[in-house]
Amino acid sequence: MTKTRKRNQLSVTAKITIITALITMIGVLATAYFSYLSSRTLIEFPIRVTQTAEAFRIILTDSANHTVDIMSIFITSGWMGDIQSLDVNSTFSDNCYSNPNCIKIIWMPSDKMEWVGLSWQYPANNWGDKPGCNLRGARAISFWAKGENGNENIRVFANRNKKGFSTESGVISLSKDWNNYTVDLQNKDLSNVSNAFGFFAEKKDNPNGVTFYLDSIEFTGISIEQVDCP
């Protein structure tokens, strides 16, 4: 019995030793394997992902920073309504938002008409009868505006013509300080834009007339190289 008990004890001890060795070996192999995976992750994947993310960041930043000055392409030709009482000074230079010039607009309503409007067009006097510019990629129209004293009321629009999309704001009540406004162009068909930007003013909103200023009227998200005009 004593020899049998000792033999069993040795057998149990041997089993424990073998199991311990196996566990240790598995641990070593697992550590080596995960160390290998970790080294691959650290060396390969983050660099590739970082480069991709950086590339997208640069693309998006550059795209967002691209702008096109509307007045460098489109012409002040879409006069509407009480135009005899409308005065537009495109070279005004006193307290503009950006240097050197901005646009000063004065309208004193006459007894004949109770509204006035103006549109920047390409080519001149194009209400949609002729091809306009392809501005695909533009995200918005951004512009700065202020009133002479505050509480001047206007509406603005984009591409108001016989063909294509048309977007028009509600009444904008201007303050006497410069403020930035945007017209969203996303999901719009910008393949044929003839009336890039314009404004309306009405006597009922401005019974004593209106004096206001516009500056930095731009398409955002597009560069001048991307604009295609016939």
Residues 230/177, Cβ–Cβ less than 8 Å: no
DSSP 96: -
pLDDT digits (tens, 9 = 90+) for 50-96: 233 333 333 333 345 689 999 999 999 999 999 999 999 999 999 99
Write down the pLDDT at residue 21.
Answer: 66
Residue 153 near residue 173, CB atoms below 8 Å: yes
Separation between Cα atoms, residue 109 and residue 161, nearest integer Å: 24
Whether residue 52 is found in the same domain as residue 112 = no
Note the pTM of the prediction, 2 decimals: 0.71
Are 108 and 192 found together in one domain?
Answer: yes
pLDDT of 55 reads 34
Residue 215: φ, ψ to 5°: -155, 155
Q: Which of 132, 133, 106, 67 is nearest to 214 (CA)?
A: 106
Q: Are residues 136 and 29 in the same domain?
A: no
Same-domain pairing of 60 and 96:
no
Kindly state whether residues 24 and 90 are assigned to the same domain: no
User: Which of 65, 91, 109 is at the close of a domain?
Assistant: 65
**Do residues 188 and 160 both lie within one domain?**
yes
The CATH number for 125's domain is 2.60.120.260
Q: Which position has the token pair 């646009």?
A: 103
pLDDT at 28 over 70: no
pLDDT tier, 15 (very low <50, low <70, confident <90, very high otherwise): low
> Are residues 78 and 137 located together in one domain of the fold?
yes
Q: Which residues lie closer than 8 Å to 174 by C-beta, 6 or more apart?
A: 145, 146, 147, 150, 151, 152, 153, 154, 212
pLDDT value at residue 61: 34
What value does the mean pLDDT of the chain take? 80
Shared domain for 20 and 72, answered yes or no, is no
Residue that is last in its domain, among 20, 48, 65: 65
**Beta strand 167-168 with 140-147: parallel, antiparallel or unpaired?**
unpaired
If pLDDT is split at 50, 70 and 90, which confidence band does 48 have? Answer: very low
Same domain for 36 and 130? no
Q: How high is the pLDDT of residue 93?
A: 96
* pLDDT tier, 99 (very low <50, low <70, confident <90, very high otherwise): confident
Q: What is the domain range of residue 27?
A: 2-65
Give long-range contacts, CB 8 A cutoff, 24+ apart: 92-99. 92/213, 96/213, 96/215, 97/144, 97/146, 97/178, 97/213, 97/215, 97/216, 98/144, 98/215, 98/216
Q: Residue 53: what pLDDT? A: 35
Domain boundary among 25, 48, 65: 65
CA–CA gap between residue 61 and residue 68 (Å, rounded):
16
Q: Which residues have C-beta within 8 Å of that of residue 146, sequence separation ≥ 6?
A: 97, 174, 175, 176, 177, 178, 179, 212, 213
Same domain, 126 and 21: no
Domain count for the chain, please give it. 2
Q: What is the DSSP string of 9-39?
A: HHHHHHHHHHHHHHHHHHHHHHHHHHHHHHH
Quick: pLDDT tens for 120-171: 999 999 998 899 999 999 999 999 999 999 999 999 999 877 667 788 899 9
59 and 92 fall within a common domain? no
